[in-house]
Amino acid sequence: MKVRVRFAPSPTGPLHIGGIRTALYNYLFAKKNNGKFILRIEDTDMLRSVDGAENHIRESLKWLNISIDEGPVKGGLFGPYRQSDRNSLYIKHIDGLISQKKAYLAFDSEDDLKRARLAQEKKGEAFLYNWRNRKNFRNSLNMSKKDVEKELNVGTNYVVRFKSYAKGDEKTITVNDVVRGQITFDKSLESDKILLKGDRTPTYHLANVVDDCLMEISHVIRGEEWLPSLGFHCQLYEAFGWKRPVFVHLPLILKPYGKGKLSKRDGEKFGFPVFVVNWGKKSMSFERDGYLPEAIINYLALLGWNPGGDKEVFTLKDLEGLFSIDDVSPSGSKLDIERCRWFNHKHIQRKSNNTIKEKLLNELEKREIFNSPVVPQRVANLIKERVYLLSEVWDEACYFYESPENYNTKDLKRLENASTASALISLEGYVSKNLSFSWEKAIDFVAKEQNVKKNLILSAIRLALVGRFAGVGVFEILSIIGKEESLKRINNLLSRLKE
């Protein structure tokens, strides 16, 4: 089978990581099977389309290095790849269904439908426009050809509905899903869904099925939120006389806290990114927060799929050779930001130290620090192991370039005693008087003279240099910033301890 898969988002807002994982699984499946990965923009609902959303979709895929084989910008033999440019194709296929009496024109007004809905609800029943009551409505199944033409001639608004089931038809339709196995739908419980809206544009369901067939999509890999639509989509394939694609419904990405599907609002609510690239000036994104695209790919690939074995860190190339839809789990997985950070740390460690150096140079330029004697490469080499996000580079490197203005409150409290102050005074005096000295010998001397532990002196020096107990090795910092700057910072801490 020639493998052709599609990622078909609607441009109703920024693309979040649930959609990204769907795109990734489609892409990996195509690569593994020497197939084609298509981007199709499903913009049939123009009122909900948002300016910039389509570009955000493309930029997200580009940042992640997910390459498109066919799409709105790339082109291809099966275009156009925006549904808003394919309306005539949909009308043609809807007309075909009408001519075969598999679809019909419905002239019911909003008031007609509202009255019918209220009457049904009074009986404690849900309202469905289907085989049980379609004969009670104003539609082309019940009207003469002359009456239909009359309504059309006077411009009466109408929709086109799919005739989902009639008494005597086979009641069920069964489909096999790769992840979930056999699923059976009862057609008699389906409504006669609208195929063509009153504004003469198709509904999502009709356009989706027509495009998948005309674009020769072999596998439909999408989120499980589309499972309730699967029965209807299969009925459409049946009505057109088309072979169904292979269906793969992916598990949901769940909220990290509480229950339910992850939403775009969760990121803002709980303070973590859900978009991979920036959307507006205020929204968080993995790119803005300092994640590497390789890490996001790695994390999302394993969020619902596992290749087996103990290995966890993979490149995109690795995943292209390993991915199998047969191993996708049917169960949803909670978003775990800490685990995502862990993957980012692992991928940073695999990068050249120059990655950290370049980020550090950007931070120095941003702060207009141009003439520092501290060599960025030396700093980058030291802090790389401590960096989990590229946005943390300055926090890990700042004390090499700037004296701390404040001290960590808890750390400072642990050193607020006479022993610390005496030890630092002694250390400052020893280093100032000795032109030729080593910090190690100076600390040994002070520890003996003041009868204090070396760890106390080292902690005090670290707090003076960094502003907190965390950081790279004390002797590395002392070596890089030099004697004069080190003594200046020790004196600053002494002044604070004497307050």
d(CA 128, CA 134): 9
Residues 6+ away with beta carbon under 8 Å from 381: 353
User: Maximum Cα–Cα distance for the chain, whole Å?
Assistant: 112
d(CA 275, CA 260): 18
Q: How far is CA 25 from CA 217, 267, 308, 447, in A?
A: 15, 23, 17, 60
Give every strand in the sheet of 159-162, ordered side by side.
103-106, 159-162, 194-196
Residues 6+ away with beta carbon under 8 Å from 293: 63, 64, 65, 276
Give the DSSP letter of residue 87: H
Token pair for 413: 């409290």
Place of tokens 């992640």: 64
How would you classify the pairing of strands 333-334 and 194-196? Answer: unpaired
Residue 264 a catalytic site member? yes
d(CA 440, CA 458): 10
Angle at CA of residue 123, ends 122 and 129, nearest 5°: 90
For residues 424 and 490, is the Cβ–Cβ distance under 8 A? Answer: yes
Q: How many CA atoms lie within 13 A of 414 on its CB side?
A: 13
Catalytic residue among 264, 334, 351, 483: 264
Q: How far is CA 366 from CA 229, 284, 362, in A?
A: 51, 20, 6
What positions carry a catalytic annotation? Answer: 264
